[in-house]
Amino acid sequence: MKRIHVAVGVVLNNQNQVLLAKRPSHLHQGGKWEFPGGKVESGETSSQALIRELREEVNLIVIATSPLMTISHDYPDKEVFLDIHTVNGFSGLAEGLEGQQVLWANVDKLREYDFPEANTPIIDKLQSL
């Protein structure tokens, strides 16, 4: 089974809210909320992939990212390696450029959203900071 390398962005605003995007229902883990990001392409660093994906998916221009953590997670049908970065600076107004719903959620309320299983350690980490 192929391991998919994914750059994930924890985008925080001034109100200690984090940006979430809803996965389209036809995709793996569809209909669940996630931290935005996407696949790292050949020749890209995780940070470069994240900057590109956030521009393409949620219309944000990322100024700086810093590594937060990494997670390897095996689903029955696919393996993912999540390279999670905190987005420290950005400009633009978040919107779902691919038709997906996006929202800003309070960090202390993240457990109220339905996330893919692989995201649980990210939520744990954010709530312990």
**H/E/C letters for each residue in 69-125?**
EEEEEECCCCEEEEEEEEEEEEECCCCCCCCCCEEEEEHHHHHHCCCCHHHHHHHHH
Token representation of residue 4: 């998919």
Summarised one tens digit per residue, pLDDT across range 80-116 is: 899 999 998 999 999 999 999 999 999 999 999 999 8
Residue 34 among known ligand-binding residues = yes
Model pTM above 0.85: yes
Is 41 annotated to bind a ligand? Reply is: no
Return the CATH number at 61. 3.90.79.10
36 marked among binding-site residues: yes
| Calpha distance 58→19 (Å, rounded) | 9
- 23 annotated as ligand-binding: yes
Task: Quote the DSSP letter at residue 12.
Answer: B
CA triple 30-103-77, angle to 5 deg? 20
pLDDT, tens digit, for every residue of 7-58?
A: 999 999 999 899 999 988 887 788 999 999 999 999 999 999 999 999 999 9
Helices and strands, number each (H, E), in the chain:
2, 7
81 is known to lie in a ligand binding site: no
For residue 82, the enclosing domain spans: 3-128
Quote the CA–CA distance of 116 and 34 in Å, as a whole number: 7
Instruction: Count how many domains the chain has.
Output: 1
Residue 35 marked ligand-binding:
yes
